[in-house]
Amino acid sequence: MRKLLVLFVFVLTNLNLFSQPNVVEKEQEIKAKFENLVQAKMDSLKLSICKEIEKLFTDVLTDEMSFDYSFSELSKMGKLTSTDQKFRIFNWNCVLSDGTYRYFGLLQIKQKDTIQLEVLTDSAVATDMFHQYKTEDWPGGLYYQIIPFKRKGTSSYLLLGWDGNNFQTNKKVIEVLTIDDNGNISFGAPVIFWKGKMLNRVVFEYAKQARMTIQYNEKEEQIIFDHLAPSLPKYQNQFEYYGPDFSYDALEYQKGKWVLIENIDVRNMRVKK
């Protein structure tokens, strides 16, 4: 009986190994493409390589085995999994010769009996804080944290992200991602109450040399961030002169909404980075 059990485990293990070669091989192909991207000089070549990476990823992420695969060899891209294990986001960027950035991404959703894969197409236009976007006109960016929250009728998440923008400024974004029961995806939803207005997302723009932080305090259900201000009053709305002024604001979760709380005291707060 023991021999039969050992044999059964061996067969299962090897079946699992034999079901993954396609994923492993594709990972190595994608890794090589990223090395080519680092070496590329011309914008047209960079964008072409990024589309090749997108195609390779599209092929591999439709495989159900890929959802639990770490892709640990791919260090030059973002890989995030939601804490509820419902979806993963893979995204990367290339810097163009004019200092702007182009973003690429894929959203892998684990459905009941299959994998839903959505390609995110960068709209390459300025992001509107009141607009709702679909996957085909995605506002772009590199996401580094997923924060789930309760909202009736949909699976809802905040995405914390970064955008290199241009030679003069960087941007950070608090994006709203919703996925309904039919797998319909939207970026942006009116759940952020900000100075009397309902926003679909928050976009912060600041000087290239400045450093802005956005961090999540899970215990207090607050997203805490640097308050940005111009270095001199005369530079109002000239964001290349903006940076943290050593005060902090927060978005606090309240009954399905995120509400702006200004000038909070961050002493003794523990935040999840």
Per-residue pLDDT in tens (0 to 9) along the chain, 273 residues: 544 444 333 334 444 443 566 889 999 999 999 999 999 999 999 999 999 999 999 999 998 889 999 999 999 999 999 999 999 999 999 999 999 999 999 999 998 889 999 999 999 888 899 999 999 999 999 999 999 999 887 889 999 999 999 999 999 999 999 999 889 999 999 999 999 999 999 999 999 999 999 999 999 999 999 999 999 999 999 999 999 999 999 999 999 999 999 999 987 665 554
Helix (H) or strand (E) holding 106: strand 101-110
Q: How far apart are the C-alpha atoms of 134 and 185, rounded to whole Å? A: 6
Instruction: Count other C-beta atoms under 10 Å from residue 32's C-beta.
Output: 12
At position 243, the amino acid (one-letter code) is G
* Residues 239 and 273 sit within 8 Å (Cβ to Cβ): no
Q: How far apart are the C-alpha atoms of 95 and 38, rounded to whole Å? A: 10
Q: How far apart are the C-alpha atoms of 90 and 215, rounded to whole Å? A: 21
Q: Considering only CA atoms, which of 119, 144, 141, 244 is closest in space to residue 188?
A: 141
Q: What was the pLDDT predicted at 72?
A: 96
